Amino acid sequence: MIWIGAEPPQAASQREALLDRAFGPARFAKTAERLREGRLPAEELSFAALESTAHGDMLVGTLRFWHVRLGEHCDGLLLGPVAVGEPWRGTGLGGRIIRRGLATARALGHRAVILVGDAPYYQRFGFSAAPASRLILPGPVDRHRFLALELSPGAMATAEGPVRASGEPVDRRRAA
């Protein structure tokens, strides 16, 4: 059975290994990474899908959100990365993690989410390119893959200009 909930601290190495398998070494060169590097994920918005095994819990899926500033007057979240381990792809687990994450973000009062991803996949959750059309990411991106979702109607009405990281910086003392 797979459980989806808050990512436990001890899952960090499993998460990084899963992301390496899913995206390869080029994952750190992606434009969305510029908004994550040196920042902590948004509080209460790091999720893990865990499967109980005879050897303990195994991380089979992950999703994290990050605080961003959408232009000068709009706060939002960056969704990603999201990854599901190979044996569980195509089972709907990715969708379950994303729905859980979006519901939690909405319940916490967040109003807008952006991502860079496959439009046909993310449209099922309400994402589209239109709300992100006046925003500029800090690097190259295929505009058709730059998507947004208003968790609250009209939340992105003033979202225009550069997208910047706004989350809490990583405390180097804690990371050591």
Per residue in 89-119, pLDDT (tens digit) is 999 999 999 999 999 999 999 999 999 999 9
- How far apart, in Å, are the Cα atoms of 97 and each of 39, 101, 141? 22, 6, 25
Q: Would you say the pTM of this structure is higher than 0.75? A: yes
Per the structure, the complete domain to which residue 17 belongs is given by: 2-168
Q: Is residue 173 part of a domain?
A: no
Q: Is residue 153 part of a domain?
A: yes
173 falls in which pLDDT band (50, 70, 90)?
Answer: very low
Q: What is the mean pLDDT of residues 161-171?
A: 94
Cα gap 170→2, rounded to integer Å: 30
SS (H, E, C) 114-158: EEECCHHHHHHHCCECHHHCCEECCCCCCHHHEEEEECCCCCCCC
Cα gap 150→137, rounded to integer Å: 18
Indicate the number of domains in the chain. 1
For residue 169, give the 3-state DSSP assignment: strand
Model confidence at 174: pLDDT above 80: no
Looking at the DSSP bridge assignments, the partners of residue 4 are 49
Model confidence at 176: pLDDT above 70: no
Residue of 95, 76, 81 whose CA lies nearest to 30: 81
Tell me what the pLDDT averaged over the chain comes to. Answer: 93
Which CATH number fits the domain that encloses residue 159?
3.40.630.30
Q: What is the mean pLDDT of residues 17-36?
A: 91
Per residue in 56-95, pLDDT (tens digit) is 789 999 999 999 999 999 999 999 999 999 999 999 999 9
Location of structure tokens 């379950």: 96
Q: What is the mean pLDDT of residues 46-64?
A: 91
Cα gap 89→93, rounded to integer Å: 7
Looking at the DSSP bridge assignments, the partners of residue 59 are 50
**pLDDT at position 47, please?**
98
Q: Is residue 175 part of a domain?
A: no
- The token duo for 25 is 């070494």
Q: Is residue 176 part of a domain?
A: no
Within a 10 A sphere around the Cβ of 1, how many other Cβ atoms?
5
**pLDDT at position 52, please?**
85
**pLDDT at position 7, please?**
95
Q: Is residue 128 part of a domain?
A: yes
